[in-house]
Amino acid sequence: MSLDVAIVHRVGAFSLDAGFRSEGGLTALFGPSGSGKTTVVNVIAGLVRADRARVEVDGDVLVDTSRRVFVPPHRRHLGYVFQEPRLFPHLTVRQNLLYGRWFRTSAERRTPFDQVVDVLGIAPLLHRRPAGLSGGEKQRVAVGRAWLASPRLLLMDEPFSSLDAARKDEILPYIERLRDESRIPIVYVSHDIAEVARLATQVVLLEHGRVSSVGTVDDVLSRTDALPVDARDDAGAIVEARVAGHDDVAALTTLDCRAGALRLPRIGLPVGATVRVRIRARDVLIAVSPPEGLSARNVMPAVVTEVGSGDSPAVDVRLDAHGDTLIARVTRHSVLALGIKPGRRVFAVIKAVAFDQPTRRPGASAPARATDGIVEV
């Protein structure tokens, strides 16, 4: 699967000039509101006609303004989950789910109904009508409806932005399963860094209608100074780790990552499970000598690779800890006082980690319940 997008479009004073490529997985379009994310997705879906654009999915050209190609939305075979559920009020949940199947030949109906209902946990809702469902239930049905149309690409435009944090927490594991089990490539619009860190394989950072950065999720999100201002506060490094063991007496879990062992309050994942942890820059301290008498127990030796520039009082320092990138936010004053500069050996003190995603739990049938919060360690 491949997706190739290049768009030039102008609406009033806003101009969009963006392009990116995806080879599958979940591509997050990340950026502040008004950066043009929704327009990009609407151009891919064919709901907006761009001034100049080229959109190609799997070698199939959907839009090419230079050759006057414009495939109408209903012939694109894409799925679209909108910000609002947009369920058909006159149909039951089951009828809503099956709506897209009508327009597919039997060979194209690749997604089994039962799998979708099972993955999204919507079996009890099938006979109800949309008006009686909660916001989270409606969005799950909307996801199922798009998925059941057997799309070759799934577009999701901040589908859960209207849900509160608890509901969102409930629904994200379903999206992880969708991503891992459906094998349908997804373009996911979001302005929520936790969501992106948790779901994305690739991130396209959009600002003021321009792509400011593209790369893997750890690459883009760890470039804290390149992130939109309002996302910087929560920004940090993403580290892949494995559950190494549990200590039931001390109620601790040990995670192994390249940087070393991370100890944290016991989590409910089995030994061997892979976890994606996010370590926010503001939760990391730097010590120039091995610290003693600290309450924080996670201290990792590292080498400074980069000291952020700029003239704000806080600076993000990039560290390399045996191959894992860590980022620490310290004051400019400390940088000068401690002599922190590239190449310097230091110790990173980690105060807290955020659990974003228990990925690919071996043999699991239900999505693992992640504690998507910040854990003091």
- Dihedral sign computed on CA atoms, order 129, 130, 136, 140: positive
Identity of the residue, 42 or 222, whose beta carbon is nearer to other proteins in the bound complex: 42
Contacts of 19 (CB under 8 A, 6+ apart): 5, 6, 7, 211
Q: How far is the CB of 45 from other proteins (least distance, A)?
A: 6
Identity of the residue, 136 or 367, whose beta carbon is nearer to other proteins in the bound complex: 136
Q: How far is the CB of 89 from other proteins (least distance, A)?
A: 5
Binding site for other proteins (CB under 8 A): 45, 47, 72-80, 82, 84, 86, 88-90, 99-100, 102-104, 128-132, 145-146, 149
Q: How far is the CB of 126 from other proteins (least distance, A)?
A: 13
Identity of the residue, 45 or 273, whose beta carbon is nearer to other proteins in the bound complex: 45
Q: How far is the CB of 37 from other proteins (least distance, A)?
A: 17
Contacts of 53 (CB under 8 A, 6+ apart): 5, 6, 7, 8, 9, 43, 63, 64, 65
Per the listing, tokens 């950072």 go with 205
| Gap between the Cα atoms of 88 and 97, Å rounded | 10
| Gap between the Cα atoms of 71 and 67, Å rounded | 12
Identity of the residue, 43 or 281, whose beta carbon is nearer to other proteins in the bound complex: 43
The conformational region for residue 34 under phi > 0 = left, psi -120 to 50 = alpha, else beta, is left
| Gap between the Cα atoms of 356 and 235, Å rounded | 13
Q: How far is the CB of 116 from other proteins (least distance, A)?
A: 14
Identity of the residue, 30 or 82, whose beta carbon is nearer to other proteins in the bound complex: 82
| Gap between the Cα atoms of 246 and 214, Å rounded | 37
| Gap between the Cα atoms of 218 and 283, Å rounded | 17
Identity of the residue, 36 or 46, whose beta carbon is nearer to other proteins in the bound complex: 46
Q: How far is the CB of 136 from other proteins (least distance, A)?
A: 17
